[in-house]
C-alpha cells in the first residue's frame, strides 16, 4: 500500500493541463471541461470548478413540448444542466469510467443514464423504447446525439465495443447496454427458456438484438432503472 507524504500525495494527484482541448480526461473517471461558453451536463455531475461559471437547470420548456412530453413518458430521473462561463469544470458520475467521443457528423444512441456531457452544437432527442417500457422496472430510454462536437459518456468499468454486421447480429442485456451507432435500430426479443435457465427476474429474459452495420457498446455491469416518482 502506497504511503505518501502530503507533498508526494499532492504531486501524484494534482491536476495537470494536458492540452487536449474542450473535453479532457483528467483521470479515467473525472472529466475536465475547459469551458469558454456553454455546455450541457448531467444534473448533479459537477464535482468542482474554478473561474466564472454559472449553472442553470434546464427549463421545463427549454427544448419544447415534444421533448417534455417524452421525458414525462419515460419517467426518467436524468435531467440536464447548462454550464455557462469561463473556467475549468470537473464532472463525474458515481465513479463510472468516462469516454470522450468527437462526432464528425455521425450519430450515436446513448443510454440516458450514461450521458455525462455534450457541446451545444450537438443535436439531441430522447427516444423512448416503447416496446420494453412495460417489461422492465422503470422502462428504458436513450438519447440520440448527432452532428459535430464532443460528447462524454460513462460506463461501469471498461466498455467493450462489439461490431455488428448483416450476417452476424449481436444480442445484449438491456441493463448492460451503454450505446450503439445511429445506423442501428434494436429489436427486443424474449427467451422464456433462457429466463427459466437463469432462474432470476424478468430482466434476463429480455434481450436487445442489433442487426445491420454498426457497433454496440456494453459494460460488465447491469444497471437497474427506477421510475421517477412524482
Residue 202 pLDDT > 70, yes or no? no
Element (H, E) at 10: helix 6-13
Q: What's the pLDDT tens digit per position in 5-44?
A: 888 888 888 888 777 789 999 999 999 999 999 999 998 9
Three-state DSSP state, 58: coil
Question: How high is the pLDDT of residue 47?
Answer: 97
Question: How high is the pLDDT of residue 61?
Answer: 47
Question: How high is the pLDDT of residue 50?
Answer: 97
Question: Cα dihedral angle (104, 106, 111, 112), rounded to 10 degrees?
Answer: 70
Choose among 103, 95, 105: nearest CA to 45: 95
Question: How high is the pLDDT of residue 75?
Answer: 45
Q: How confident is the model at residue 203 (pLDDT cuts 50, 70, 90)?
A: very low
Q: What's the pLDDT tens digit per position in 94-145?
A: 999 999 999 999 999 999 889 999 999 999 988 776 555 555 544 467 889 9
Q: What's the pLDDT tens digit per position in 60-90?
A: 545 554 555 445 444 444 578 999 999 999 9
pTM above 0.85, yes or no: no
Please say whether the beta carbons of 162 and 170 come within 8 A: yes
**Residue 5 CA to chain centroid, in angstroms?**
37
In this predicted model, which residue has the larger pLDDT, 59 or 205?
205
Mean pLDDT of 204-222: 89
Cell numbers describing residue 35 = 469551458
Three-state DSSP state, 2: coil
Question: How high is the pLDDT of residue 126?
Answer: 81
Q: What's the pLDDT tens digit per position in 167-199?
A: 999 999 988 999 999 999 898 888 766 555 554
Domain boundaries along the sequence of the chain: 20-218
Distance (Å) of CA 225 to CA 15, 39, 160, 178, 221: 34, 26, 21, 13, 13
CATH class of the domain at 20-218: alpha beta
Give residues with Cβ within 8 angstroms of 6, minimum separation 6.
none
Q: What's the pLDDT tens digit per position in 155-164?
A: 999 999 999 9
Count how many Cα atoms sit within 13 Å of the Cα of residue 225 in the half-sphere of its side chain.
26
In terms of DSSP H, where are the helices of 134-223?
192-198
Q: What is the CA radius of gyration of the chain?
A: 19
DSSP annotation of 105: E
Strand partners for 167:
none
Element (H, E) at 198: helix 192-198
Amino acid at each position: 500500500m502506497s504511503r505518501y507524504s502530503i507533498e508526494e500525495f499532492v504531486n501524484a494527484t494534482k491536476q495537470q493541463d494536458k492540452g487536449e482541448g474542450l473535453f479532457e480526461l483528467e483521470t479515467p473517471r473525472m472529466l475536465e471541461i475547459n469551458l469558454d461558453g456553454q455546455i450541457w451536463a448531467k444534473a448533479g455531475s459537477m464535482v468542482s470548478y474554478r473561474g466564472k461559471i454559472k449553472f442553470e437547470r434546464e427549463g421545463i420548456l427549454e427544448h419544447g413540448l415534444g421533448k417534455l412530453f417524452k421525458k414525462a413518458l419515460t419517467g426518467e430521473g436524468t435531467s440536464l444542466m447548462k454550464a455557462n462561463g469561463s473556467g475549468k469544470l470537473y464532472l463525474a458520475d458515481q465513479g463510472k469510467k468516462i469516454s470522450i467521443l468527437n462526432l464528425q457528423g455521425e450519430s450515436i444512441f446513448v443510454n440516458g443514464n450514461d450521458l455525462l456531457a455534450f457541446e451545444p452544437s450537438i443535436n439531441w432527442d430522447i427516444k423512448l423504447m416503447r416496446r420494453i417500457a412495460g417489461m422492465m422496472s422503470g422502462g428504458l430510454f436513450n438519447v440520440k446525439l448527432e452532428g459535430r462536437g464532443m460528447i462524454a459518456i460513462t460506463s461501469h468499468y471498461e466498455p467493450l465495443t462489439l461490431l455488428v454486421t448483416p450476417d452476424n447480429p449481436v444480442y445484449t442485456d438491456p441493463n448492460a447496454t451503454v450505446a450503439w451507432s445511429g445506423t442501428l435500430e434494436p429489436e427486443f426479443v424474449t427467451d422464456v427458456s433462457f429466463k427459466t435457465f437463469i432462474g432470476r427476474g424478468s430482466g434476463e429474459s429480455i434481450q436487445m438484438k442489433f442487426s445491420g452495420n454498426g457497433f454496440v457498446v456494453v459494460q460488465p455491469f447491469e444497471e437497474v432503472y427506477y421510475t421517477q416518482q412524482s
